[in-house]
Amino acid sequence: MNTNFNKSFLKIVEHEPRISHRLIAEFTETKQKNVVELILKYFDKFQLFGHLPFETESVINSVGATNQQKTYYLNEPQATLLLSFMRNNAIVIKFKVDLVQAFFEMRRKLQNPISQLPNFSELLSQNEEAKKLVELFEETKPFHLLLLQKLLKENSVSSLFQLDFQNTYFLPTELGKLHGISGREANLLLEKRGLQEKQDEVWKLTESGKEFGMEVGGTYHQLKWKLETL
């Protein structure tokens, strides 16, 4: 039997903490049908302490048929009343104590909204980590981000930022690494496909190549290409 009962088992139903009859059955080692029988037998008594809500769910039995079963949610006085109808033993007594404590802690939490505010030191720590992540993203070359994405998948920086590399341009050397060839081989392949040609020892885009590449000026004339090029 699971003996680790705590306030997390309580559920807010109709604006107040409640516990399901199924959990009461589990933690008192009572058959669920017996707990339901007690609820139905003394239903008018439970109603004295407020409305007794329930949820209906479909359950498939051992022969494959679908049955509609109700899950009742009892507030603190209703749960206390139900337990009073059960035979006292060590298990029931322990559960009574745990349940009283759980309701007490839940009431205190609901009455003290300040306790529900986020932990500011934790938020600051998370913001610092996020800041470092942004700085890493800004300083890292797109090709390295792409490699990290292939290696780390959804845990990579680019995945966290939901980057799409389809419109990013890469050097022939970088494209070659992705396909297991050298930069020289990548350039020859681009030339063979009619995407670039040499003019005065400098690679230039052909008309066909303009769809996939771009020219980068500066100290060194370079061509960059979309991922889909090769």
How would you class 227 by CB atoms within 10 Å of its CB: exposed for 0-12, middle for 13-18, buried for 19 or more?
middle
Domain ranges across the chain: 7-116, 165-230
Taking residue 79's Cβ as centre, other Cβ atoms within 10 Å add up to 27
Predicted confidence at residue 33, as pLDDT, reads 93
pLDDT for the residue 21: 96
Q: By C-alpha distance, which of 225, 208, 229 is closest to 216?
A: 225
Q: What is the reported pLDDT for 86?
A: 93
Residue 222, strand partner residues: 216
pTM for this one? Answer: 0.47
Point out the residues of the chain with pLDDT beneath 70: 1-7, 59, 61-62, 112-121, 123-124, 157, 218-220
Q: Which residues contact 181 (CB under 8 A, 6 or more apart)?
A: 189
